[in-house]
A = this chain, B = another copy of it.
Amino acid sequence: MFRILALSEQGTLHGSDTEEAVRAPPPGGYVWVDLTTPDEASLKLLGERFGFHPLALEDCAHADQRPKAEEYGDHLFVVTQSFQCPHGNLDELRWHELQSFLGANYLVTVHEESIPGLDQVWRRLELDGELFKKGADFVYYLLVDRLVDENFPILDRIADALEQIEDAVLTHSEPGDLARIFSLKQGLVLMRKVLSPQRDVIGMLARRGDPRVSEKTALYFRDVYDHLARAVESIEANRDLLGNALDAYHSTMSLRTNEVMKALAILSAVFMPLTFITGFFGQNFEHLPFGSDALMWAMMVSLFVTPLGLLLWFKSRRWF
């Protein structure tokens, strides 16, 4: 489904969704064509009207590309991803892929589902057509900046979850902690896989020299690059801290096993000798002097002395 936002060379802003409007504007004009859920026909139309390369159009048809920026003659083909975490639930972390063609005075965006961040930029542009005059590259900056900034609330949420887990693990580890640690780690692996190459793609746009990106706008892309670099650094640091938390979990677990073990050993040290002693005097040999008071009291004493001796020996080996 197409929708088109065009600024004519006279500075008038037109919205449209007819296929005829899908075309590169005359010099002095600007156009942003947005295509949701592309089908073969609409991609073919884009190819004809803008002269896009079959390979790029094929990438649009099979959304699951890695972030990249490719130069095809007079336009750039850029693939980026943005994350979303619908109800603040990190388990539902998913991403949108956005394919963009950036020409001298046009921007064409293609995506599978509607992307809230993109819709916001679209509305902002509808309200303030002046922004369009800064060029198609600036409009693309607005879009990318908006989508990149959506990563930060997610990263903050991950950092919060991480902090909670760190505390929990050292004080009262539960089986559920493990599952939470591993789900966080999966999230970070996923985000790093996507954001790290994306940072390099935006870095390329920020380096001055590309004919589609004015020197002025390049400064803005440098800012986006910076945000992405910060996001990637934050992911790395969080991975480190997560490894920390896992180590803490393991250590706490082995510490506890050790403690339980010691309690068991002490219990055994106390009661095993006692059981033997009472067992000894439970034998039915007729010649054992069961009538002797002295022996009985000796038995009584040994019931205290034997475990005490073993406990002292344990103490001397620093077990508790």
Contacts and interface: CB of A to CB of B under 8 A. Distances in A.
Given A257-B257, A261-B261, A189 B248 contact: no
B222 A70 contact: yes
Contacts of A262: 260
Interface string A291-306: 1010110010001000
Contacts of A270: 272
Interface stretch (A2-10, A94-102, A174-182): A174-182
Contacts of A166: 182, 186
B260 A319 contact: yes
Nearest to A295: B285
Given A260-B261, A267-B265, A296-B288, A282 B278 contact: yes
Interface residues of A, number: 88
A118 interface: no
Interface stretch (A22-30, A36-44, A125-133, A229-237): A229-237
Interface string A253-264: 111111111111
Interface string A228-255: 0110011011001100101111111111
A226 B189 contact: no
Contacts of A219: 53, 55, 72
A18 interface: no
Interface of A: 53, 55, 59, 65-66, 68, 70, 72, 166, 170, 172, 175, 178-179, 182, 185-186, 189-190, 193, 197, 219-220, 222-223, 226, 229-230, 233-234, 236-237, 240-241, 244, 246-265, 267-276, 278-288, 290-291, 293, 295-296, 299, 303, 310, 314, 317-319
